[in-house]
């Protein structure tokens, strides 16, 4: 597979975003140039306040007041009407953000089925698809619970299921496992990993360096800029990064023997 041929999904050119006016003006994003190709799993790290959430909001078409260029699937976002942007957001982009608001009047399965209404899926199929994804998140028995009957971790998993139910090709996740225990985090990371294997593009902000092992590319940000970038070559998950120490030693001994 020629990596250079993989089409770009997201292209940013000198992207900037400022908040405040006059003396108080501050660039939360301060000149980011980046190409994200289809099927990449990018982990973004960086200190609090460096612009990670602002960047995801822009990528997720939640904030269009920007300077510079943002091309999504070869179309300049600036040229898309608000309506078109809303349609792309609901059909192609899965947003997993930290404030997971479920609709309090709807039960779990209805909440998860909600994004499919905009797609025009029939009610039976909506509930079938919602049920299927709730099962993958081990929430099958919670389908008819109301949001107030869920724990924090369960609420978060339901909201993630809702973000993924219409099979978005681009998934943007802002510390998706931030408040979860390790078992719940594992379920979510496995699901993201599975989506990645199926060819979806994932951009995930995390403060947990261990989670970067799921990613194919790691970007660190500092003061609204990209600080380091491992690049788009699929590099992670090579057997050497996961090889247990014992085997490494054996190999180095063998090497020595050859040298001697
Ligand atoms: N709505 C906003 N209004 C004003 N300033 C904001 C707003 N959102 C973010 N900022 C500022 O932009 C910078 C980057 O914030 P953010 O993207 O939330 O950082 P991170 O997610 O990396 O912690 C911070 O200085 C923050 O105070
Ligand atoms: Mg943030």
Distance CA 57, CA 45 (A): 16
Protein residue with least CA distance to atom 17, ligand 1: 51
Distance CA 225, CA 235 (A): 23
Pocket of ligand 1 (CB under 6 A): 19, 28, 46, 48-54
Residue 99 exposure: Cα atoms within 13 Å on the Cβ side: 2
Distance CA 100, CA 118 (A): 19
Over the stretch 90-124, which tens digit does the pLDDT of each residue have? 889 998 887 667 999 999 999 999 988 877 889 99
pTM (predicted TM-score)? 0.83
Cα of 28 to ligand 2 centre, how many Å? 11
Evaluate whether 162 touches 106 at the Cβ level (below 8 Å): no
In ligand 1, the atom with minimum distance to the C-alpha of 51 is: 17
Locate the DSSP E strands across 109-192.
Answer: 170-174
Distance CA 233, CA 45 (A): 18
Residuewise pLDDT in 10s, the chain (260 residues): 544 568 899 999 999 999 999 989 999 999 999 999 999 999 999 999 999 999 999 999 999 899 999 999 999 999 999 999 988 988 899 988 876 679 999 999 999 999 888 778 899 999 999 999 999 888 999 999 999 999 888 888 898 899 889 889 999 999 988 878 888 888 889 889 988 998 999 999 999 999 999 999 999 999 999 999 998 754 434 434 433 333 333 333 333 333 32
Protein residue with least CA distance to atom 2, ligand 1: 19
Locate the DSSP E strands across 8-65.
Answer: 8-19, 26-37, 41-45
Which tokens in the block code for residue 248? 């490494």
Which tokens in the block code for residue 129? 């698809």
pLDDT number for residue 5: 67
Q: Nearest 5°: CA angle at 232, between 79 and 37?
A: 35
- Closest Cα partner for 160 from 138, 182, 144? 138
Domains and CATH numbers, the chain: 3-259 (3.40.50.300)
Which tokens in the block code for residue 120? 């025009």
Protein residue with least CA distance to atom 25, ligand 1: 49
Tell me the best of 18, 19, 66 to mutate to test the pocket of ligand 1, counting ligand atoms within 8 Å of each CB and taking the most: 19
DSSP for residue 7:
P
Protein residue with least CA distance to atom 12, ligand 1: 28
């Amino acid at each position: 597979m020629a990596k250079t041929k993989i089409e770009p999904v997201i292209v940013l050119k000198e992207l900037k975003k400022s908040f405040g006016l006059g003396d108080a003006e501050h660039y939360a994003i301060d000149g980011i140039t980046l190409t994200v190709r289809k099927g990449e799993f990018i982990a973004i790290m960086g200190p609090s306040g460096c612009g990670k959430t602002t960047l995801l909001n822009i990528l997720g078409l939640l904030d269009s007041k920007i300077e510079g260029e943002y091309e999504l699937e070869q179309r300049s976002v600036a040229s898309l009407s608000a309506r078109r942007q809303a349609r792309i957001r609901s059909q192609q982009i899965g947003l997993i953000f930290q404030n997971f608001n479920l609709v309090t009047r709807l039960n779990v399965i209805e909440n998860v089925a909600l994004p499919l209404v905009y797609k025009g899926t029939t009610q039976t199929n909506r509930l079938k698809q919602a049920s299927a994804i709730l099962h993958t998140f081990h929430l099958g028995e919670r389908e008819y619970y109301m949001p107030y009957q869920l724990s924090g971790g369960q609420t978060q998993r339901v909201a993630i299921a809702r973000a993924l139910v219409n099979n978005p090709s681009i998934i943007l996740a802002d510390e998706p496992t931030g408040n979860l225990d390790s078992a719940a985090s594992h379920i979510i990371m496995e699901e993201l990993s599975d989506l990645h294997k199926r060819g979806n593009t994932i951009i995930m902000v995390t403060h947990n360096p261990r989670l970067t092992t799921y990613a194919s590319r790691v970007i660190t940000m500092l003061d609204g800029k990209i600080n380091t970038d491992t690049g788009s070559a699929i590099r992670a998950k090579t057997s050497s990064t996961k090889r247990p120490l014992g085997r490494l030693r054996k190999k180095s001994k063998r090497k020595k023997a050859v040298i001697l």
